[in-house]
Amino acid sequence: MAVGVLSLQGSFNEHIAALRKIGVKGVEIRKPEQLQNITALIIPGGESTTMAKLAEYHNLFPALRDFVKMGKPVWGTCAGLIFLANKAIGQKSGGQDLVGGLDCTVNRNFFGGQLQSFETELLVPEIAATEGGPSTFRGVFIRAPAVLEVGPEVQVLAYYSVPSNNSAESKSNSENQLETPVSKERVIVAIKQGNLLGTAFHPELTADTRWHSYFLKMAGVVTEQSSNSIIKEEYFSDNRQQKNDLPIFQW
């Protein structure tokens, strides 16, 4: 079963490579009729306004909304998360069309511009419980959004805690990430609602394919290559040898 990747702009090639790594075919999607041939869809990170203009040009929005309403699994990363949100703030003049479906409000450019891009370890207990591996995931945030509010049917999968000058307070916050509400010091960066998944960061830019495997299971696509042991061994071997950190975000 093929998984589609919206390929108008952004990191669609990286998603296709990640899918290939775990034995699943990724199909580039640029036209509405192509959605009829896939079982699930990934909307990648990129420049959300540009992606929206291209989607409008190709008349993709009605087909994308129908795809979501049919209950087919859709995962949005970074700009893709903005696409799937019911409401987005911090947009450019005139705003942009949204696909909608996720009962949440996102701030389109919460962390700032390109210079405020960063990497950090996120607590991901749901991913660890389902896919194995450690309780953390290396989140890559590039001109990233953040989720400010969620509805009652939305499951929060990861928070980001803003680093504190008080190391004891920071440690306490980190240990209780999924037990406290969103605030100025804590924002939501990964959510799930029914058939929809959204991450403010870019899992496709890491060697850790657990988020892709998690999404494939949402879509009912499980392959022998996506076993936990292969993912964990390959990722942590690569990660120990290659680590080029971006700055940690500060207020």
Question: What residues are annotated to the active site?
Answer: 78, 202, 204
Q: Work out the number of other CB atoms within 10 angstroms of the CB of residue 16.
A: 22
DSSP secondary structure of 83-141: HHEEEEESPPTT-------EEEEEETTTT-SGGG-EEEEEE-HHHHHHH-S-SEEEEEE
Residues 6+ apart with CB under 8 A from 29: 4, 5, 6, 7, 35, 38, 41
Residues 6+ apart with CB under 8 A from 185: 161, 162, 164, 173
191 three-state secondary structure: strand
Q: Report the C-alpha dihedral over residues 117, 119, 120, 124, rounded to 10 degrees.
A: 100
**Rounded distance between C-alpha atoms, residue 139 and residue 109, angstroms:** 16
Calculate ∠ Cα 7-156-79, nearest 5°. 25
Q: What are phi and psi of 199, to 5 degrees?
A: -130, 135
Sign of CA dihedral 160, 162, 166, 169: negative
